[in-house]
Structure 1
Amino acid sequence: MTMAWPAPSAADSPMTASCAAALAALLEERTGQRIAENRSWRIDAALRPLLAARSLDRVTQLAALVRTGGDPLLADQVVDLLLNQETSFFRDVGVIEATAELARAAEAANGAPARIWCAACATGQEPLSLAMLFAEDGAPLPSILATDVSAAAIGRARRGAYNQFEIQRGLPIRRMLRWFTSPDEQQWVASPKLMETISFRRHNLVADPAPVGGFDLILCRNVLFYLVPALREQVLDRLAGALAPGGLLLLGAGETVIGLSDRLRPSPRARGFYEAVPA
């Protein structure tokens, strides 16, 4: 993808249309995620912290710095900020609880701990929510792989540290006090027992091969929505190939495989989940 980077100009508004298009193209090139033209305002809002950190006044100045390539980390920082990293603990709690039940059923059927892949895990609240449920039922803990395209998000997830706002989103007080400690007034840190259950790794759903497979459950929620149809098909094929026999895929509430993949179908065993079509 060739991006027409705008040159900064004193006459420019804080963000010109060409600048917004170039930055949106950078995001799509790196991650496959697309920002709709009617949501280009999000670019300006998302990049304001980076402008302040770089002592810049205009997004066009930031775009010009990315274009020159003098700072290899700058493009990564821009992409990280433009990604939609919306997440919370126990988001759609009924779905999280159903996932944990299905994992235990897979363990009973296979005679081995379930393998779970939380794709696009952002800062880690989803896999930690599952880990809490597993730890609380007293049974052996399954293996959870948690991945995200953002190096910054995975770095935060590995630390398992959350601010006061993040810890209160979806997490009941009793669980917060049981599974997190607060070394200071600024953050809450997840218990080592939870963290040792999860392996965090950077992974690009669009560009990278799926992790070596055999997953009993794959969660890939609210990602396909941001991809163009051709990339949705590609990602779904990779997810299907990563499922173990009898494995299940969970997508976001507004996402589907219908019309996008002939390798997956709605599962009659679990409402809202998908399974591989037998060869």
Structure 2
Amino acid sequence: MTNLSEQIIADLLLEYTGQELTDSRRWRIGSALSGLFRERGLDNVEQLVVLLSEQRDNVLAKETVDALLNNETYFFRDKPMFDQLENDVLPRIAKQNEKQKRISIWSAGCSTGQEALTLAMMFADQPMRWKGWTIDILATDVSNKAIKAARNARYTQFEIQRGLGVGQMLQHFEETSQGWQPDRAIRDMITFQQHNILEPMVRATRFDLVLCRNVLLYFCADTRRRAFDRLVEAMAPDGWLMLGAGETSVGHTDAFIPARKLPGLYRPFEAAEATEEQEGTNLAAAR
């Protein structure tokens, strides 16, 4: 594989997604594109680059980008984070939204849907607590292939067992000839949509909670700042942001501040300031 071919593929990924294919990650180009090679009857990246230059439509370009994206995911990934949501964050959001009884959540970079379904299962497991509430989960990904798989919602035995116990599988899923399918009750909470996090989110309602985990890792500093700007634009002023274990807003943006005593969670700057002021008032009153 020539350096020029590598660079052309890396530029293609950057153009469509904003993700950088750094030198340390370029080793995976051949293996990531192997399936596309078989489908297209190609032997190597050089042949793919030639074919890309000859085609006027962008179908092959999108297929190439889809193949390069890392769609690693599983149910209840990093479970302590979901425990924090259930025990700390969602009760606070519920208190704020008690009048309208509606919670809006955005799973940004949802891959094949497991994260969004995990969120839906958390609500379904407490039917009395959330009776009368509208739970609106928007799950997006830049990968068209991933979104198609999420909408299809058929999971293999291997996929269904990653993060779920037998009881959860039987409670929320049905085994079919095409794979394990989630129950209608949890599927109806979710809307899947192809979307690039760097583009504006056109939506009347802002999100109370945004999960954007293991997405920002692949952006350069400038692109990461753009992503944070888009995230805060889409969030309610008192909303919550959850990032992946290897990600942080610190040093990348002034739009968010780490939430106190809740690792991996962040608040819009104004919300964080208001919370600290209120906690200080409560502490003074207690004294």
Give the structure-2-normalised TM-score. 0.87
Residue type of the alignment partner of 1:129: T
Tell me the number of residue pairs that the alignment of Structure 1 and Structure 2 aligns.
263
Structure (1 or 2) with the greater helix fraction: 2
Contact between 2:250 and 2:257, CA under 8 Å: does it hold in 1?
yes
Contact between 1:118 and 1:144, CA under 8 Å: does it hold in 2?
yes
**Identity value in percent:** 43
Map 1:1-279 onto structure 2 (within 5 A): 15-101=1-87, 102-111=89-98, 112-138=101-127, 139=130, 140=133, 142-184=135-177, 186-206=178-198, 208-212=199-203, 213-268=205-260, 270-278=262-270
For residue 253 of structure 1, give the secondary structure of its aligned residue in structure 2.
coil
Deviations 1:44-70 (A, max 9, x none): 001101111111112211121112224
Contact between 1:233 and 1:260, CA under 8 Å: does it hold in 2?
yes
Residue type of the alignment partner of 2:200: P
Contact between 1:160 and 1:190, CA under 8 Å: does it hold in 2?
yes
For residue 278 of structure 1, give the secondary structure of its aligned residue in structure 2.
helix
Residue type of the alignment partner of 2:248: T
Between 226-235 and 95-104, the greater mean CA deviation after superposition: 95-104
Residue type of the alignment partner of 2:201: A
Q: Determine the C-alpha separation between the residues in 1 that align with 2:4 and 2:40.
A: 21
Between 194-203 and 170-179, the greater mean CA deviation after superposition: 170-179
Q: Determine the C-alpha separation between the residues in 2 that align with 1:211 and 1:217.
A: 16
CA RMSD of aligned residues (A): 1.6
Structure 1 segments, 4+ long, off by >3 Å, are: none
How far 1:109 sits from its partner (Å)? 2.2
Between 66-75 and 126-135, the greater mean CA deviation after superposition: 66-75
How far 1:232 sits from its partner (Å)? 0.4
Q: Determine the C-alpha separation between the residues in 2 that align with 1:71 and 1:182.
A: 39
Deviations 1:167-193 (A, max 9, x none): 111111111111111211x51111111
Q: Determine the C-alpha separation between the residues in 2 that align with 1:41 and 1:188.
A: 34
How far 1:268 sits from its partner (Å)? 2.3
How far 1:99 sits from its partner (Å)? 2.0
Q: Determine the C-alpha separation between the residues in 2 that align with 1:144 and 1:104.
A: 17
For residue 161 of structure 1, give the secondary structure of its aligned residue in structure 2.
coil
Q: Determine the C-alpha separation between the residues in 1 that align with 2:111 and 2:35.
A: 19
Q: Determine the C-alpha separation between the residues in 2 that align with 1:175 and 1:16.
A: 48
Contact between 1:114 and 1:143, CA under 8 Å: does it hold in 2?
yes
Q: Determine the C-alpha separation between the residues in 1 that align with 2:212 and 2:202.
A: 14
Q: Determine the C-alpha separation between the residues in 1 that align with 2:36 and 2:124.
A: 38
**Contiguous gaps of at least 5 residues in structure 2:** 272-287
Between 65-74 and 115-124, the greater mean CA deviation after superposition: 65-74
